[in-house]
A and B are shown apart, each in its own frame.
Chain A
């Protein structure tokens, strides 16, 4: 089992819809969770981080964490074509950041 798992996609959603990106992790001791966005040919950029169970909202983005289920998700409301990118889930292990392989999101007009 991979330490951090994401569906590779592509996840295709129409403009204006809600995109839901999911991530599961294997280490129950993980405390910090991050979502990065990576456009093609670019480096990852941080969107959000979450440490506590529940929801955390930032603009159109909402991160959801459920430590009991070892599950973290990212919701993007009112999706725009400019949101089309690969979204990387990252989980802080004991001594390093562990990344999933990413979910490719396509938002079509």
Chain B
């Protein structure tokens, strides 16, 4: 099976702009989770989608939003970018998102906000 794919891999934006990141899960996986990784904070959970519904959400401001399509592909949007949004954004997929399931990570999108 092909792994989790994310596009784009690298992105440079300026403050105030918005950005949309895309994630395609492993075929057959219906749960997609998004994480932000920074050197200081480590991996922080953003949200999880399952069957086109946001099932769980982390402690991020409303500028961070997402959605999932019927084919399980997911997008994450960040509006009004701030310098602190510079990070590696990772998505991970699992079959159903059940507690004991393993999550498989994509290669990430590295976002730089200038």
Contact = CB atoms under 8 A, between A and B. Distances in A.
Interface in A1-52: 31-32, 34, 36, 42-46, 49, 51
Contact of A96 (B48, B102, B105, B107): B48
Given A92-B99, A96-B58, A42 B107 contact: yes
Interface residues on B, range: 20 to 34
Contacts, number: 45
Nearest to A88: B43
Contact of B106 (A36, A43, A49, A102): A43
A92 B45 CA distance: 12
Contacts of B55: 95
A97 B45 contact: yes
Interface of B: 33, 35, 41-43, 45, 48, 55-56, 58, 90, 99-100, 102-108
